[in-house]
């Protein structure tokens, strides 16, 4: 399965549209891929399921150059709730801000985990609009 994240950059946050799932995303602004303060570079990344005590089942973005632990998880305000991860949202309300993130995340997670259970590889391609 291939997912595509189309980004719009703004100094206050990065918004995106995740194709295939009909969901939007929010991220931190592009700050040269600096750990914990920047969205990740554009590119194609494999996704995998990961389970931790803190977050339960979630989606991990693999092979991000110079970074690790990049997740797809709920958040409604990138500057306050993200450290370089991607947050699905139902509606974008401003640069790096959205609403109903948990709902969008559950929809995305169900789709990705179902594909992974069928032994499909799942990729996300991130690029500018």
Q: What is the pLDDT of residue 21?
A: 60
Task: Tell me the DSSP string of 85-115.
Answer: -BEEESEEEETTEEE-HHHHHHHHHHHHHHH
- Neighbour tally for 39: CB within 10 Å: 27
| Average pLDDT of the residues of the chain | 94
Is the predicted pLDDT of residue 17 greater than 90, yes or no? no
Task: Please report the pLDDT score of residue 46 as a whole number.
Answer: 97
R_g of the chain computed on alpha carbons? 13
pTM for the full predicted model: 0.86
Q: What is the spatial distance between Cα 46 and Cα 82, in angstroms, rounded to a whole number?
A: 20
As a whole number of angstroms, the distance between CA 89 and CA 15 comes to 10
């Amino acid at each position: 399965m291939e997912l595509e994240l189309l980004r719009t950059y703004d100094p206050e946050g990065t918004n995106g549209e995740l194709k295939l799932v009909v969901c939007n995303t929010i991220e931190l602004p592009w700050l040269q891929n600096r750990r914990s303060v920047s969205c990740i570079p554009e590119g194609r990344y494999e996704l995998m399921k990961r389970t931790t005590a803190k977050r339960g089942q979630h989606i991990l973005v693999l092979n991000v150059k110079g970074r690790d632990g990049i997740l797809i998880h709920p958040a409604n305000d990138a500057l306050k709730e993200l450290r370089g991860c991607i947050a699905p949202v139902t509606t974008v309300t401003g640069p790096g801000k959205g609403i109903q993130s948990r709902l969008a995340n559950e929809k995305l997670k169900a789709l990705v985990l179902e594909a992974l259970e069928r032994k499909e590889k799942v990729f996300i391609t991130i690029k500018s609009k």
